[in-house]
Amino acid sequence: MSTITANIPSDIPAGLHRAELRGRAAGTALLAFFALGWTACGISAIPTTVGLVLFAIAAAGSLTLAALALAMSRRAATAPTGGGPGRGRATGRRYGIVVAAEWIGIFVVARLLAATGHSQLIPAAIALGVGIHFFPLAKLFGIRAYHLTGAAICLVALTTSLLAPLTATPALWSILPGFGSALTLYATCTHLLHIRSSSH
């Protein structure tokens, strides 16, 4: 843990509050978990041996990010308390509403696609829902990078919907949204862990 902790600055830059740092830590851990899930989606359409290797690499990356997030959360104890975007119970309720809307929307669309014989579109549809939900989160938590995260994942979904039928390659329905979304979430985790005095 000492090596991992060393990657988090011991001196918290001015302007970063305890709640913000803990929020970044929690976000990193959560996104690392979902990135691993998206990796599993991507490898479902490739050879087993290659898939296992890629999953092992992704799992190691997710565990490392989770450890770094824990280190950041512990360091947050030395940061000043304060307000700002992404703090308080009201924010928690709004976050719950955004996530609930995301999951309900994804569930309904996935059921409709399955019922109409378009199950291959489900991964892309899920990615689109995930991408869209980052836009309100960007405003809610004051993390502008979430706009880029949302735009990138939406682009992955749209690209999948165009390339998979155009190339007549069924594997792309899983590979593109899986790996595309995973890489985007891992990049977002890296950003969240990069503490700067200028904040977001």
Quote the pLDDT of residue 88.
67
Residue 18 pLDDT exceeds 60 = yes
194 pLDDT tier (thresholds 50, 70, 90): confident
Residue 160 pLDDT exceeds 70 = yes
21 pLDDT tier (thresholds 50, 70, 90): confident
Q: In terms of Cα–Cα distance, which of 26, 27, 34 is closest to 178?
A: 34
Taking each helix axis from N to C terminus, what angle separates 122-141 and 18-43, rounded to the nearest 10 degrees? 170
- Alpha-carbon distances of 138 from 93, 132, 145, 148, rounded to whole Å: 15, 11, 7, 9
Angle in degrees, CA 5, 11, 15, rounded to 5: 120
- Contact between 195 and 8 under an 8 Å Cβ cutoff? The reply is yes
Q: In terms of Cα–Cα distance, which of 15, 27, 17 is closest to 137?
A: 27
Residue 94 pLDDT exceeds 50 = yes
Helical H runs in the chain? 2-5, 18-43, 48-75, 89-115, 122-141, 145-167, 172-193
Quote the pLDDT of residue 5.
42
Quote the pLDDT of residue 86.
45
Quote the pLDDT of residue 44.
93
Quote the pLDDT of residue 16.
61
Distance of CA 54 to the CA centre of its chain: 18
Quote the pLDDT of residue 22.
83
**Token output for 182:** 């995973």
Q: What is the average pLDDT value for the chain, to the nearest integer? A: 87
Q: What is the mean pLDDT of residues 95-110?
A: 96
